[in-house]
């Protein structure tokens, strides 16, 4: 398909290069954010780190959901 038109082939090359560059920038930015997050975690105290783990893994919400489960008598024999 690209061989049919030289202008389209050139446009495709430009677009492909722009995509490659934008992916590289996005990766670099994401890695910087994660490095900052790691640094923040490393400077936390023990108790603060434990609380953050509980928050991140949504342990409290999971406990609430599990605690709210009850028998609805759907499988009762009458």
- Tell me: the pLDDT tens digits for 8-26? 889 999 999 999 999 999 9
How many other C-beta atoms lie within 10 A of the C-beta of residue 47?
8
Per-chain mean pLDDT for the chain: 89
DSSP letter for 73, please: S
Give the pLDDT score at 77.
78
Phi, psi of 4 (to 5 degrees): -75, -30
| Number of alpha carbons in the 13 Å side-chain half-sphere of residue 20 | 6
Give the pLDDT score at 35.
96
Q: Which residues contact 54 (CB under 8 A, 6 or more apart)?
A: 60
Residue 3: pLDDT band by 50, 70, 90 thresholds? low
Give the pLDDT score at 5.
82
């Amino acid at each position: 398909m690209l061989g049919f038109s030289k202008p389209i082939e050139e446009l495709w090359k430009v677009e492909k290069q722009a995509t490659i560059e934008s992916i590289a920038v996005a990766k670099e930015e994401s890695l910087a954010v994660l490095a900052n997050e790691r640094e923040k975690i490393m400077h936390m105290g023990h108790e603060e780190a434990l609380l953050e783990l509980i928050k991140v893994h949504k342990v409290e919400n999971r406990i609430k959901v599990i605690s709210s489960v009850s028998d609805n008598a759907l499988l009762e024999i009458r």
